[in-house]
C-alpha cells in the first residue's frame, strides 16, 4: 500500500482502543454474575425478615444497578422454597398475601466508595432520591440523604392506608460502634434532621393507639398537616429532641423528650411529651378521632394545648394522656 494511503497511526490506535472498550463492555454484560448477586441480595434481606423482588440487574461503572425493585415485610417468615423463587426471579405469582405490601423503588445503584472506604447506595423512588454512604473503616459511619420523596408514590398509599401529598426531606448521620464485630445501632452517635413541606392527607384509614390499648382503624377526612421540621441529637444511642414540630393552619403539634435507639429500628423507644392544638372547625371534621383528643388534659404551661405522652416502641407506639 502506498504510504499516502495508510491510515494515520493515531487512528489505528484509537480504533483498537475503541474495539477493546466495546469488547470489554459486551463481555461484562455477558459474563456478569447476575444470579449470584440476586441470590445474595434476596437471602440477606430474608435474614432481616424482608422480601426483595428485582426486575432486572445490570453492571455499571464500578458497581451494579437493580431496577423495578419491590421491598416488603412478609406477614410470616419466608420458606426456603419462597426464598429460592425470589432468588431465581420466578416469584411473579406471589403477591401481598404472601409477601406483604411492597414499597416500589425505580432503581438502586450500589458501588464501592473510597472516601471513606465503604459502600455508596443511590436509589430513585417515590419521585425523589435517597443517597446512602456507609463507611466501613473502624466504627461504621452511615449517612442518609432523603430528597423530595412523595408520600403518594412507590405504592406507599397501599402500604400505609393513607392517600397523601407533600414532599419529604431528611438527613441522618450516625456513627455506630462495633460490638462483637457488628455495628451496634443502640450505641450510635449522630443526628437526624427533618424538613418536610406541604404534607396533606387526602383520606384513608389510620390505626390510632389512643389509650394504650389495641389500635382501632379510623377513617380520616382531608387533613392539612403542613410542615414537619425537627432535629434529634444522638449520644450513645439516646436521642434528645432539640426540636420537633408539625404545623399547619389546622393543627399544631410540638414534641420534646427522647428517642432511645434499639438494636433494630423498630425496637427503638420514644419517650416524648407531645402538645397538640387543633382548630375547632377541623376538630369537628375529625369526628371520633377529634373527640378522642378532648380526653387529653390541658398542658399545664399553655392550656390552649392538649398534653399527651408518646411511648412504647416505634413498631407498637402508645399515645396516652400525660399526667
The region of weakest confidence among 189-193, 216-220, 312-316 is 216-220
Between residues 70 and 220, which one has the greater pLDDT? 70
All three cell numbers of 91:
416469584
Backbone φ, ψ for residue 281 (5° rounding): -65, -40
| pLDDT 10s digits, 200-209 | 999 887 766 5
Using DSSP, state whether 74 is helix, strand or coil: coil
69-83 CB burial, b ≥16 within 10 A, e <16: bbbbebeeebeeebb
Its pTM stands at: 0.80
Measured CA angle at 229 (ends 152, 200), to 5 deg: 30
| pLDDT 10s digits, 89-146 | 777 777 888 888 888 999 999 888 877 788 999 999 999 999 999 998 889 999 999 9
- The DSSP call for residue 157 is H
Measured CA angle at 120 (ends 114, 122), to 5 deg: 145
The region of weakest confidence among 9-18, 97-106, 146-155 is 9-18
Between residues 258 and 18, which one has the greater pLDDT? 258
- pLDDT in the model for residue 31: 45
All three cell numbers of 126:
417515590
Taking every pair of C-alpha atoms in the chain, what is the biggest distance, in angstroms?
A: 100
Between residues 67 and 59, which one has the greater pLDDT? 67
- pLDDT in the model for residue 309: 96
Average model confidence (pLDDT) for the chain?
A: 85
| pLDDT 10s digits, 165-198 | 999 999 999 999 988 878 999 999 999 999 999 9
> Distance between CA atoms of 209 and 216, rounded to whole angstroms?
7
pLDDT for 288 beyond 80: no
pLDDT for 16 beyond 80: no
Residue 24's pLDDT band, with cuts at 50, 70 and 90, is very low
- pLDDT in the model for residue 243: 97
- The DSSP call for residue 127 is T
- pLDDT in the model for residue 215: 62
Cis check for the bond before 116: say yes or no (omega within 30 of 0): yes
Give the Å distances, CA to CA, from 246 to 173, 236, 260, 284.
22, 27, 21, 20
Amino acid at each position: 500500500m502506498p504510504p499516502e494511503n495508510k491510515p494515520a497511526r493515531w487512528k489505528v490506535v484509537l480504533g483498537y482502543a475503541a474495539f477493546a472498550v466495546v469488547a470489554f463492555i459486551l463481555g461484562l454484560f455477558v459474563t456478569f454474575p447476575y444470579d449470584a448477586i440476586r441470590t445474595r441480595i434476596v437471602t440477606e434481606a430474608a435474614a432481616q425478615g424482608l422480601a426483595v423482588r428485582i426486575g432486572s440487574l445490570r453492571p455499571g461503572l464500578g458497581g451494579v444497578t437493580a431496577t423495578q425493585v419491590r421491598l416488603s415485610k412478609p406477614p410470616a417468615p419466608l420458606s426456603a422454597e419462597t426464598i429460592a423463587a425470589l432468588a431465581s426471579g420466578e416469584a411473579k405469582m406471589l403477591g401481598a398475601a404472601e409477601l406483604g405490601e411492597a414499597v416500589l423503588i425505580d432503581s438502586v445503584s450500589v458501588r464501592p466508595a473510597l472516601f471513606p472506604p465503604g459502600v455508596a447506595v443511590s436509589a430513585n423512588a417515590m419521585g425523589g432520591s435517597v443517597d446512602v454512604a456507609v463507611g466501613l473503616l473502624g466504627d461504621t459511619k452511615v449517612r442518609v440523604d432523603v430528597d423530595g420523596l412523595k408520600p403518594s408514590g412507590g405504592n406507599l398509599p397501599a402500604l400505609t392506608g393513607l392517600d397523601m401529598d407533600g414532599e419529604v426531606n431528611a438527613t441522618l448521620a450516625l456513627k455506630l460502634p462495633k460490638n462483637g464485630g457488628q455495628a451496634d445501632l443502640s450505641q450510635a452517635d449522630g443526628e437526624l434532621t427533618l424538613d418536610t413541606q406541604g404534607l396533606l392527607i387526602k383520606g384513608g384509614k389510620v390505626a390510632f393507639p389512643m389509650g394504650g390499648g389495641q389500635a382501632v382503624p379510623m377513617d380520616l377526612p382531608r387533613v392539612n398537616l403542613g410542615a414537619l421540621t425537627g432535629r434529634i441529637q444522638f449520644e450513645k444511642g439516646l436521642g434528645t429532641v432539640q426540636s420537633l414540630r408539625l404545623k399547619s393552619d389546622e393543627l399544631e403539634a410540638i414534641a420534646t423528650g427522647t428517642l432511645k435507639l434499639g438494636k433494630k429500628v423498630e425496637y427503638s423507644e420514644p419517650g416524648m411529651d407531645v402538645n397538640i392544638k387543633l382548630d375547632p372547625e377541623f376538630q369537628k371534621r375529625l369526628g371520633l378521632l377529634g373527640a378522642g383528643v378532648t380526653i387529653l388534659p390541658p398542658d399545664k404551661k399553655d392550656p390552649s394545648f392538649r398534653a399527651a405522652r408518646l411511648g412504647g416502641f416505634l413498631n407498637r407506639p402508645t399515645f396516652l394522656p400525660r399526667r
